[in-house]
């Protein structure tokens, strides 16, 4: 029997999901600190030049080139500090002592660093050639007043927010947070801290997804564990849909007898159930509820984490207004260990990427790859991405790897 018939490739599933959703339109205006990790809702235009004025890039002396021709020592006419410009008269044949960040005095054509001068009672001598414009940071060199500094859709991080501070911008209009309602399904699930009866296990998926949602800057509505009971599940789906932009469930999406999600969702919305051609993580559901989008993750913990990472993460990025996220960067590395693989599904094995003594990228398996072996995420630092039709990989063969991002501590 062909176990791979009817499986859909990851990129087709992702394309279908992303083509259906568009970014949230609601926004809010927040102070810079609160904008961390958020997405700009509008283009941001600079009200200022940065730097705001021509200033010294070094501690030294401000000079006019004509005064240097005679190569004689020049008396010092005064001093300029950052925040305290030189405001006196600047007579011909003199120089001005200047510190880094101080505005250069009008007429200044170069700043000479202190190390290229000699001081004596007669004044300052310039002992190295001086080039017009040297060590002067020009007004507007970094950012011009009126220029669009960032476009709508720009994610605001520690790379962007300080730039906005340098422009004197105190608040930014950002897309509102995506609201995500989350629950896990399964009669066997208990909360950590509770005793276990026979056949019961602790709910781990809800914590995985909750933590990842928080790291992605979503507002999380955690609805707990829902037993495999059609009436309770129905009620939960309706409640979740009314509160959230996205509803995420885990478990109950395969073909077992307690897998009610499919029947319920056929009734409540339009849902596509996919068997993804990936490993781990075959069963996955995506669709539209009356008010929200729905993602049904598989129950196996590694599969739930992987499908969230590969499919839900880009979906949330699009909803939150971010400009199209580039495909994850994949690197080529040499496998140090044999990797078991049967053809038919794109495999995301967990590996450890490192450099060998020659500086080449090498990767080894974290060990057993079962969809219940969650410790592999902590032991690994990357996915080893093995092409769909590939079979076993022998040590020494080239493979593609994708470093974990911040969701797994990367």
Return residues touching Mg ion (CB under 5 A): 186, 251-252, 299
| Residue 400 interacting entry, from Mg ion, ligand AMP, none, C-beta within 5 to 8 Å by type | none
Min CB(302)–ligand AMP separation in Å: 10
Residue 298: other Cβ atoms inside 10 A: 25
User: Which residues here bind ligand AMP, judged by CB under 6 A?
Assistant: 184, 186, 188-189, 201, 203-206, 250-254, 256, 298-301
Min CB(372)–ligand AMP separation in Å: 7
Cβ proximity to Mg ion: between 109 and 228 the closer is 228
Cβ proximity to ligand AMP: between 139 and 258 the closer is 258
Min CB(174)–ligand AMP separation in Å: 32
Cβ proximity to ligand AMP: between 174 and 189 the closer is 189
| Residue 96 interacting entry, from Mg ion, ligand AMP, none, C-beta within 5 to 8 Å by type | none
HSE (side-chain half, CA atoms, 13 Å) at 192: 5
What CA–CA distance (Å, rounded) separates 253 from 287? 13
| Residue 203 interacting entry, from Mg ion, ligand AMP, none, C-beta within 5 to 8 Å by type | ligand AMP
Q: Residue 333 carries which DSSP code?
A: E
Min CB(205)–ligand AMP separation in Å: 3
Min CB(216)–Mg ion separation in Å: 25
The residue whose Cβ lies closest to ligand AMP is 299
| Residue 353 interacting entry, from Mg ion, ligand AMP, none, C-beta within 5 to 8 Å by type | none
| Residue 250 interacting entry, from Mg ion, ligand AMP, none, C-beta within 5 to 8 Å by type | ligand AMP
Which residues, other chains included, contact 98 with Cβ-Cβ below 8 Å and sequence gap of 6+? 56, 59, 60, 61, 62, 79, 80, 86, 104, 105, 111
Cβ proximity to ligand AMP: between 205 and 381 the closer is 205
Cβ proximity to ligand AMP: between 55 and 205 the closer is 205
Cβ proximity to ligand AMP: between 45 and 191 the closer is 191
Min CB(385)–ligand AMP separation in Å: 23
Q: Which long-range contacts (CB under 8 A, 24 or more apart) does 223-228 make?
A: 223/181, 223/182, 223/183, 224/183, 224/184, 225/183, 225/184, 225/185, 225/186, 225/189, 225/190, 225/191, 226/183, 226/184, 226/185, 227/185, 227/186, 227/187, 228/185, 228/186, 228/187, 228/252, 228/258, 228/260
How is residue 139 written in tokens? Answer: 């007004």
- H or E element that contains 215: helix 205-215
What CA–CA distance (Å, rounded) separates 72 from 95? 12
Min CB(348)–ligand AMP separation in Å: 17
Cβ proximity to ligand AMP: between 299 and 321 the closer is 299
Residue 400: other Cβ atoms inside 10 A: 15
What CA–CA distance (Å, rounded) separates 315 from 175? 15
């Amino acid at each position: 029997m062909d176990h791979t018939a009817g499986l859909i490739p990851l990129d087709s599933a992702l394309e279908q999901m992303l083509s259906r959703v568009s970014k949230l339109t609601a926004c809010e205006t927040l102070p810079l600190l609160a904008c961390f990790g958020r997405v700009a809702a509008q283009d941001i235009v600079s009200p200022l030049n940065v730097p705001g004025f021509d200033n010294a890039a070094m501690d030294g002396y401000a000079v006019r080139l004509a005064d240097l021709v005679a190569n004689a020592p020049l008396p010092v006419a005064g001093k300029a500090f950052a925040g305290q410009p030189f405001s006196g008269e600047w007579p011909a044949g003199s120089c001005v002592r200047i510190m880094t960040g101080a505005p250069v005095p009008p007429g200044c054509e170069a700043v000479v660093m202190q190390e290229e001068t000699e001081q004596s009672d007669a004044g300052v001598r310039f002992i190295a050639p001086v080039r017009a414009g040297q060590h002067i940071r020009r007004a507007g060199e970094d950012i011009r007043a009126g220029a669009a500094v960032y476009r709508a859709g720009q994610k605001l991080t520690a790379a962007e927010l300080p730039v906005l501070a340098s422009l004197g911008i105190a608040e930014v209009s950002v897309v509102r947070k995506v609201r995500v309602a989350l629950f896990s399904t399964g009669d066997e699930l208990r909360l950590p801290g509770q005793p276990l009866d026979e056949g019961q296990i602790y709910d781990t998926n809800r914590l995985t997804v909750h933590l990842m949602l928080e790291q992605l800057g979503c507002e999380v509505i955690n609805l707990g564990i829902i037993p495999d009971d059609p009436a309770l599940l129905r009620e939960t789906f309706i409640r979740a849909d009314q509160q959230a932009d996205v509803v995420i469930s885990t478990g109950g999406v395969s073909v077992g007898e307690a897998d009610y999600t499919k029947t319920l969702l056929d009734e409540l919305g339009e849902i596509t159930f996919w068997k993804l051609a990936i490993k781990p993580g075959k069963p996955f559901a995506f669709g539209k509820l009356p008010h929200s989008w729905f993602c049904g993750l598989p129950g196996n913990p590694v599969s739930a984490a992987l499908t969230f990472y590969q499919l839900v993460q880009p979906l949330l990025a699009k909803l939150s207004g971010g400009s199209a996220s580039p495909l994850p960067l994949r690197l080529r590395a040499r496998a140090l260990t044999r990797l078991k693989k049967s053809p038919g599904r794109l495999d995301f094995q967990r590996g450890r990427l490192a450099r060998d003594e020659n500086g080449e990228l090498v990767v080894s398996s974290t060990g057993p790859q079962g969809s219940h072996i969650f410790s592999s995420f902590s032991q690994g630092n990357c996915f080893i991405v093995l092409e769909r039709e590939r079979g076993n990989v022998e040590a020494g063969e080239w493979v593609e790897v994708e470093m974990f991002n911040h969701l797994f501590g990367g």
